[in-house]
Each structure stands twice: as C-alpha cells, then as structure tokens.
Amino acid sequence: MYKSLTNSQMKYIISLSRRKIREEEGCFVAEGTKCVRDTWDYFNCRMIVATKAWYDENGHSGHLDKIVFANSQQMQRISQMSNATDVIAVYDIPKREISDNSIRTGLNVVLDNIQDPGNLGTIIRLCDWFGVHNIFCSPNTVDVYNHKVIQATMGAISRVTVKYCDLGELLTNYGDMPIYGTSLDGKNIYKTDLSATGFVVFGNEGRGMSQAVSELSKVKLRIPSYPANVQTSESLNVGIAAAITIGEFRRRTALAGK
C-alpha cells in the first residue's frame, strides 16, 4: 500500500532546515539521487520522500516501508534547494565516537570557526579522499548537518566522523602529538618536516585561527605563492588550502613508504 506525503510530514521536513530542530529531533535531511543513494546504507533512515517516477527508476522493494510519495509541487515546498529534487531522505543523526587509538594513529583535521557550509562540505569530501577519518570542529563552526554541507560532501559524510568539542581542551590533551596550524606567517610547507600522524588546524575564512588555538599549534605552516616576492591574491580559500595541505601530508607519507 503506497503512502502519500501528509501536511504534518511536510511541516516536519521543512522544520529540519533549522539547526535547533535538527538537534532536538536528532535527524537531518539529504536531497538528490546521488546524495541519498550514497548515504542510505550508512544512516538509519526514518523516511524517504520521492516522486513515483523516481521510485520506479531508482527504488527497490527494500524501501517500501520507508517510502512516502509526493508530487512535484510538494517536493518543491519541502526542498531546501533552489531547484527541487525528486527524492529527500530523513536520517537519524548517528552517535559516533572517536577512539583514542584512532586519533593517535592517524592524521586528524581541526576546524576553528569555519563558517561557510560549502567549505565544510568540501573539507569533509577531501578528507574522505585522502583517508582522514576524524574532523574536530569548534562549537562555533557551521553545523555539519546543514543541508548545504551535506550536499557538498557528495556522500563523504558517511565515512568521515565530525565531532564538535573544545579545541583548546582537545589539543592540550594530545599535546604530546604533532600539532600543525595553517597561517600566512608560517613556515614553507614544502620545506618543513611533516608527520604521518597528528593534528592539522585550519582557521576561520577571514580571521584564521583563534589566538588560543594558534598558541597550541607547535608548527605553523604556510603554502607559498609562486613565484616568490610577486604580488598575488591575499590568501587561498580554506577548502583549497586544506586540499593542498593534506595532499602534501599524504605525499610525504607515500614517499616514506608508510
């Protein structure tokens, strides 16, 4: 028996655009065929809202207990995207823990007050690409379950754990490990020794790292412009800087045969 989307369900899904409601309800929304198909095996699904045409092409019998059908006008109303998609999934926010061993044996990314959802989503995606499994965020960093973040991860949110915490406490507790902070006045990353494990900190898009976090960073790293001493852009987008930086860490690891 097919179920149709009700007005109360529409209101509920629309309410999940607000961080407060997501946190109270413990769930988030993913939109679009690729995003939904890349995530539905990793999160507990409360509901899949889709058009009948989408289900006929992409669904299967295993989804029948979760599927709710909607027409295109309803999809437009509940979508958080400028152009509504044909499928929206509502997932439980997972209870993920990061073990001490995982922290100590891996490279960890730390985000200090990142504000742009696209930047956070991009960083999650590149961490997935480079095998970085843990991201630690300051409490004032944009919500990882913001729909723009989820879309930008392109499914990588399924495989990377993002934890919000007091960064000062985190870095102090792991003060025996390498802690790198990215800064315009840091050392040339290409001429600096890099560890296969530790923490790499990326600061706010406009202000960089906070003073407290900067003081806990043992080594400051800078991506040099080219050629030297020639006027260029003031800085790099944090997502681009993260890609170059983490890529260099992984290149060094590969050269060392680890």
DSSP, residue by residue, 203-217: -BTTTBS-HHHHHH-
Supply the mean pLDDT for the chain.
Answer: 93
Residue 229's pLDDT is what? 77
Structure tokens at 45: 């699904």
Domains of the chain, start order: 7-92 (3.30.1330.30), 100-255 (3.40.1280.10)
* pLDDT confidence band for 1 (50 / 70 / 90): low
CA neighbor of 127 nearest in space, from 42, 255, 247, 253: 247
pLDDT surpasses 80 at 53:
yes
pLDDT confidence band for 124 (50 / 70 / 90): very high
Among the listed residues 175, 201, 197, 202, the one whose alpha carbon sits nearest the alpha carbon of residue 256: 197
Question: Exposure pattern of 82-120 as b/e (b: 16+ CB <10 Å)?
Answer: eebbbbbbbbeeeeeebeeeebeeebbbbbbbbebbebb
The share of the chain scoring above pLDDT 90, in percent, equals 83
The encoded tokens of residue 54 equal 């989408």
User: What percent helix, strand, coil does the chain show, rounded to 5?
Assistant: 40, 20, 40
pLDDT top residue among 83 and 153: 153
User: Per-residue pLDDT averaged across 124-131, rounded?
Assistant: 97
* Two structure tokens written together for 229: 């001493």
**pLDDT bucket at 59, cuts 50 / 70 / 90:** confident
Please state the φ and ψ torsions of residue 246, each to the nearest 5 degrees: -65, -35
Q: Mean pLDDT throughout 211-232?
A: 91
User: Is 90 exceeded by the pLDDT of residue 223?
Assistant: yes
Q: For position 60, what pLDDT does the model report?
A: 67
Per-residue pLDDT for 228 more than 90? no
- Check pLDDT > 80 for residue 61: no
Q: Over the stretch 189-208, which tens digit does the pLDDT of each residue have?
A: 999 999 999 999 999 999 99
Q: Closest by alpha carbon to 159, among 42, 29, 28?
A: 42
